[in-house]
Structure 1
């Protein structure tokens, strides 16, 4: 009597697994999608193969992954051009399958084979795939999964630079304002990573596109959405104070338009917005090389500004003393400017 019926089937090799993934994805053609039963069966096959890929990358809980198999899998994913096929079919796949793919993608990008990060290199040679992931914020069904995959990609400096310099970058100003909170929050997380994780690329970009960028950014600062205003102010403070952006900050705090914007936000109905606006406003005031126009605005509006600042408080907390010291310093500087001749007349 044979017991072969009870034996587990031989595990697929990395080459066989990638081929199986591709074949199952290619089975998701228009005819299959149009037939409910056929689609269900095809999706089950895709999920089975994607789960097998995760097991190959992470182990099954009892047996750990094989470094050699992971390397081979990574190579095959690239050599067999499976990545575009995976991306293209994301809208059809189920939520759980997409979740597993996000996990696998994060691991695959980190794999180095013979000193080369193969998947990162593949993306460098197929940059349109980055544009695809970014554009997926317009599809709320897959936006968060694609956002996670995109953030993994932009950990690679060359890929981040491409997005920052790409015309697609401008789409973030739309996506961070989308009505779906989960999608807009995810888009802002990616936007923040792009502006804070790679200072050299950001500095170069802001130098070349200063006017266009801040024209768009002002709309976020004045957004009717409280979360957008708060996040945008906090992010603005972060990248202005980045040491490599010092030339951008000096230009920003020399422009009266930006000062007036911060003065408006100091009057916001939200205490949190007021505090965040103060963090940027104080840079204008503390600047030892303030242009004459900046001095004039501060001097002419000193009474209103002093009244606003007098009532400004972050509330209870360990940083109260430091905040009060900074506020007192700023108020004294405004008072000093108000006493100077030819500034208030």
Structure 2
């Protein structure tokens, strides 16, 4: 058999495949192999009913869908990726995701959702990534995330949450990354994170937190990074980060921190990076960073530092490789309490 025969044969095969795909594709969408259906930016107001059952990836973003009704995806039993971001979705009916148990990635960002009710996502047992950022979510009922046993990433950024509590996190025991930045959170109820023992990354930056308690972090023994920048923290009390025994990166930039009690960083034996720029510290003290025996990077830039005690870093920082203190007003080196 010569090459021309094989060329003709392959052309016929591919032509048949693409003809089959075209036959399965809604007229207003674009489709490709494996079965990806792209109905984005097609002025949809509801979930189309003529999506083929074997669809694995469905793009419905940039439309005008306002509601996800019961059984909206009930026939899409092979669906893995579902994009519904940048619509006008306000309501998600219980049972909206019936039949969609195979979905692993769900994007609901940039909609108009105001609340999450109990069992909203209960059928999505294989879901690993859930984006709910840039909505208007102010309320999350207990067990709203019930059944999400595989969830690893939850994005709640840019919503209207004012607090976090343990009921909100019911059902997400496998969660590793939680992004709740850019909300209005001022309160974290004690023991909030006892139901997320695998969490490694927690973003709480750009909120309204004015104080932190040692009981906030119970259950977060595996956390590696905590971002509390752009809040309203004024002081760090003893055991402020109790329980964060494996944390490596702590971000406290752009708060209002004026004082740090001795023992504030107790237990942070694995901390490598401490960022505290843009605060209101005026002096360093020998005990201020006690406990940070393995820290390698410290940023104290853009504070109001005027006095640097001679023993400021004796009790903490034998492994420091980088210490940033630029844009302060340091004029005095204080030796054992006397200025020189």
Per the normalisation by structure 1, the TM-score is: 0.41
Of Structure 1 and Structure 2, the greater strand share is in 2
Q: Considering Cα pairs closer than 8 Å and 6+ residues apart, tell me whether 1 or 2 has the greater RCO.
A: 1
Of Structure 1 and Structure 2, the greater helix share is in 1
Per the normalisation by structure 2, the TM-score is: 0.42
